[in-house]
Amino acid sequence: MLRRVAHEWKVATGISGGNSSALPPSGAVREADDLERILSQHRLSPKYAIRLLNGPPPDRKPEHPRARHRPASYSAGVISILGAVWEAAGFPCAVRLKALLPLWMPWVRKRFRPRPATEQGVLDISARQIDRRLAERKKRLSHGLQGRTKPRRQAVAAPQWAGARQLP
């Protein structure tokens, strides 16, 4: 609401172009007093009042710069190799997987035959990036892998012995 009031005052006094520090026309003194009264009722600082006057009109949203996205550092081949090693090694945490990667490279070379750049990418990736890149797979598998100390209930038939009573 204050932005709209400040904008209407700006239009009525002829101040335009976002420069509120310019002197208003001589007939705008009464409107300036009105604006000062409105702003003081809301206990606004002069800096905020200037910001309202310099801001965009109230019906238009301020433009935000587009977010810049960096290109992917690791190829899909690197991520698929990481996923395969993660599963074959028994789903270790990312820090342990990072330590295991040099030991698993002969297996990777035999099974995937990666290019040298892909192999270097597998060795260079950090534990935090491994966590990020494998997060989707971990989420899919998490129900059956982690977080259980209680043994799972098995469907076992009730023992049958000769003296057991048969219920009607």
Question: Could you report the per-residue pLDDT of 99-157, keeping only the tens digit for each?
Answer: 999 999 999 999 999 999 999 999 999 999 999 999 988 888 776 655 566 666 665 55
CB 152 within 8 A of CB 143: no
Output the six-digit token pair for 139.
């989420």
Q: What is the pTM of this model?
A: 0.48
Residues 81 and 139 in one domain: yes
Whether 13 is covered by a domain: the verdict is yes
Q: Which domain holds residue 39?
A: 2-20+28-54
- 158 pLDDT more than 80: no
Domain identity same for 38 and 88: no
Residue 160 resides in a domain: no
Per the domain annotation, does 137 fall within a domain? yes
- Average pLDDT of span 91-102: 93
137 shares a domain with 99: yes
Number of domains present in the structure of the chain: 2
Same domain? For 80 and 43 the reply is no
What is the reported pLDDT for 83? 94
Q: Give me the torsion for CA of 50, 51, 54, 59, rounded to 10°.
A: -130
pLDDT value at residue 140? 82
Same domain as 89, residue 42: no
Give CA–CA dist 157/162, Å, rounded: 15
Q: Are 22 and 50 in contact (CB under 8 A)?
A: no
Same domain, 83 and 135: yes
Q: What's the pLDDT tens digit per position in 29-85?
A: 565 666 667 666 666 676 777 777 777 766 666 667 777 788 888 899 999 999 999
Q: Is residue 164 part of a domain?
A: no
pLDDT computed for residue 92 by the predictor: 92
pLDDT at 9: 65
CB 113 within 8 A of CB 136: no
Average pLDDT over residues 83-100: 93
Contact 84, 32 (CB under 8 A): no
* One domain for residues 84 and 130: yes
Q: How far apart are CA 7 and CA 16, in angstroms?
A: 10
Same domain, 100 and 139: yes
Q: In this structure, are 48 and 84 located in the same domain?
A: no
pLDDT at 17: 52
Q: Is 45 in the same domain as 90?
A: no
Total residues belonging to the chain: 168
Query: Does residue 36 sit in the same domain as residue 90?
Result: no
Q: Could you report how far apart the first and last alpha carbons of the chain are, in Å?
A: 78
Residues 41 and 82 in one domain: no
**Residue 68, pLDDT score:** 76
